[in-house]
Amino acid sequence: MNVSDLLKKLSKENRLAPEEYLYILDNIEKTDLDLLFSLARHARDATYGSKVFMRGLVEFSNYCERDCMYCGIRHSNSNADRYRLDTESIVSSCKTGRSLGYRTFVLQGGEDPTITDDWLISLVKRIKTEIPDCAITLSVGERSRESYKKLYDAGVDRYLLRHETANETLYNKLHPGMSFKNRMNCLFNLKDIGFQVGAGFMTGLPGQTNEDYVRDLVFLEEFRPHMVGIGPFIPHGDTPFKNAEGKGIDITLLLVALTRLILPDSLLPSTTALGSADPKGREKGLLAGANVVMPNITPTENKEKYILYEGKICTGDEASHCRGCIQGRIESTGMSVDMSVGHHKTII
C-alpha cells in the first residue's frame, strides 16, 4: 500500500476501506499532501468551478442550556456576557448583508430555551418576505422532528448540526447530558424532512485519534451530508478544556481535502476556526478544497460576545470590512467570489 496510490483511488472511487483511510492519516508526507490538495481542488472545480460561495452569518443568541466541554458559551460559563437579538435587529442585519451582496443568511445561536418554533417561524417568514430570493440556513442545535418539520415548512432551506465527532464514547464525554444517538437521530430527521444538511466535526480535541477521524470519514461517506464544517478545536479559558493544547490546522486541512474527495459535490466551508488558528487558515482551507466562507454580519457590539474559543477573528470588524477583506483573501488563492444563493448541486 502507498499513500499516493490510495489518494488516486479515493479520487476515482470516492471511498476507501477504513484501514486505508487510517493508513493515509498515519503515513501521509509533504509530497502526498501536495497531490491530495491538488486532487481536492480538481474535484471541487469539476462540480462548482473555482468559486467560493458567500454566506452572511448572524449569531443571534449566545444563551445556551448545553454544557459542551470545549465551548465558551456553555451554560456553566458565568463569565460569558449573554445577549439575544430581537427580530428587528436580525432582519436589519440580514438587510445590511443583502446590501453587501449576500443571498444566504445563516442564523446561528446556542440552544436557547426561549427560542420557540413560533418565534423562529415568524422570523424566517419575515426575512423571506423582505429579502426576496435569499436562502436561510438555521443552526440552533437539537430539536424535535416536529419542530424541524415546522421550520422546513416555514421556508428554512438548510440546517447545520455538526456531529462534532463520530466516536460515540468521545462524543458522550464531550457533551454531558447529551447523547450521540440523539445527535444522529436529529441529523437523519433533518435529511429525511428535506433540508440541505450540514454535518461536521472538530479536529485536535483532547483524546481524539486518527482512528476517530476515520470514523468521521466513514460517517460522512454513509450519511452524505450536503455540507461539512470542519475546524480545529481551539481552547477557551472559561471551559474545562482551558489547559488543553490546540493542535494546529494541518490535520483540519488534510481532513477537508479527504472530505472533498469522498463528497465531491459537497459545500465545504473554510471555517472561522481555521482562520482563527492560523492567519492564513481560510486561504489554506480553500487551497485544500473548501468552497464556502461564512463572514460574520452580526452587529459589531454583539459579535464580540459570541466567543466559542479564544482568538476568534473579525470580532471587532464591521460586516462591510469583512466583505472586502474576505474577497481579497479569496482572490489571493486564484478563486473568485460567487454571490449567488449557492444551493447544493442537487437542488434546483
Annotated binding site for [4Fe-4S] cluster: 64, 68, 71
Q: State the binding partner of 162 from ligand FES, ligand 5AD, none, CB within 5 to 8 A by kind.
A: ligand 5AD
Q: How far apart are CA 100 and CA 94, in angstroms?
A: 10
| Closer of 54 and 178 to ligand FES (Cβ) | 54
Short-list 154, 167, 136, 247, CA closest to 193: 154
Residue 165: which region, alpha, beta or left (left: phi > 0; alpha: psi -120 to 50)?
beta
- For residue 78, the tally of other CB atoms under 10 A from its CB is 7
Among 190, 233, 284, 314, the residue binding ligand 5AD under the rule CB under 6 A is: 233
Among 234, 263, 286, 322, the residue binding ligand 5AD under the rule CB under 6 A is: 234
Short-list 187, 172, 133, 136, CA closest to 157: 136
Site string for ligand 5AD, 296-325 (x = CB under 6 A): ------------xx----------------
Q: State the binding partner of 295 from ligand 5AD, ligand FES, none, CB within 5 to 8 A by kind.
A: ligand FES
Q: How far apart are CA 201 and CA 223, in angstroms?
A: 14
Q: State the binding partner of 317 from ligand 5AD, ligand FES, none, CB within 5 to 8 A by kind.
A: ligand FES
| Residues near ligand FES (CB under 6 A) | 295, 314, 317, 321-322, 325-326
Query: What is the 8-class DSSP label of residue 101?
Result: T
- For residue 215, the tally of other CB atoms under 10 A from its CB is 19
Residues 174 to 193 in contact with ligand 5AD, rule: CB under 6 A: none
Q: State the binding partner of 37 from ligand FES, ligand 5AD, none, CB within 5 to 8 A by kind.
A: none
Short-list 163, 141, 183, 314, CA closest to 230: 163
Annotated binding site for S-adenosyl-L-methionine: 164, 183
Residue 301: which region, alpha, beta or left (left: phi > 0; alpha: psi -120 to 50)?
alpha
Among 162, 215, 284, 344, the residue binding ligand 5AD under the rule CB under 6 A is: 162
Count of residues making up the chain: 348
Measured in Å, how far apart are the chain's first and last C-alpha atoms? 41
Among 164, 212, 216, 283, the residue binding ligand 5AD under the rule CB under 6 A is: 164
Contact of 85 with 112, CB cutoff 8 Å: no
Single out the segment in contact with ligand 5AD by CB under 6 A; choices: 81-89, 172-180, 229-237, 327-335: 229-237
Site string for ligand 5AD, 235-254 (x = CB under 6 A): -x------------------
Q: How far apart are CA 329 and CA 281, in angstroms?
A: 10
Residues 68 to 97 in contact with ligand 5AD, rule: CB under 6 A: 70-71
Helix, strand, coil percent values for the chain (each to nearest 5):
45, 15, 40
Q: What does the CA dihedral 185, 191, 193, 197 come to, rounded to 10 degrees?
A: 110
* Smallest distance, ligand 5AD to C-beta of residue 7, A: 26
* Smallest distance, ligand 5AD to C-beta of residue 8, A: 31
Q: State the binding partner of 21 from ligand 5AD, ligand FES, none, CB within 5 to 8 A by kind.
A: none
Interface residues toward ligand 5AD, by CB under 6 A: 70-71, 162, 164, 202, 231, 233-234, 236, 273, 308-309
